[in-house]
Amino acid sequence: PDEWDGEPLSEEERQIVSYFSGQKKAVAAERLSGALGLGPDSPALEALCQKGILSKKDGAAPKIGNSVQKMIRLKSGDLPEKLSAKQRDAVKLLQDAGAVSVKELCYFTGVTASVANTLVKKGIAEYYEEEKYRNPYEHIENPGAPDRITLSEEQQRAYENLLAQYRQGKGGVSLLYGVTGSGKTLVFLRLIDEVCASGRGVIVMVPEISLTPQTIAIFHRRYG
């Protein structure tokens, strides 16, 4: 179209409107850039947004979905006098906890899911869903005070040489060579301790993706 609700459109704006007319859902900026060669800050896109023809939303979709758990909580209002013993146990837990997952309700009170369903049908409680965020560190014990690392004579020499280079403040590249199991990671940890103690940060790159889980475990236990 040459215009939209009486508003004249430029050639570029017409191309954008024509493209979006064939879309059934929102279009990511990367896809729009590939199709029309336009970035998210394109003047034509901004003009269409100002005219109310398009709307732009900033946000990032998670690559890995978080799990959703079924929750239950009491509804406001007076409780009926006639409740079975199991229903009273479930209500008591909800009064104390406020809200729990259905699995937790069954586990802590020994009732079945049918008791929860009955409470909901009677209007005493209600279900809702709550997103449970994934924590890749939940299986790793919480870090305590980091242990002092004791290095061998050879490790100590490597550590002192690398530390001296760091303290020069000139940057540079060093290669710490050693066979698997020779203790290179301990040298790195001592260096990281020293850098962190000076109020600076460290970026650690894992050389092989298969080493990622064990590397995360080592560093999370020590630094959190």
Which sequence spans correspond to the domains of the chain?
11-51, 67-132, 153-223
Residue 67's φ and ψ, nearest 5 degrees, are -80, 155
Percent residues over pLDDT 70 in the chain: 83
Distances in Å between the Cα of 60 and the Cα atoms of 21, 29, 54, 64, 65 are: 24, 11, 19, 12, 12
CATH class of the domain at 67-132: mainly alpha
pTM score of the predicted model = 0.42
Highest mean pLDDT among 50-64, 74-88, 141-155: 74-88
- CA-to-CA distance for 47 and 35, rounded, in angstroms? 19
Q: Are 117 and 85 within 8 A, CB to CB?
A: no
pLDDT per residue as tens digits for the range 71-92:
999 988 788 888 999 999 999 9
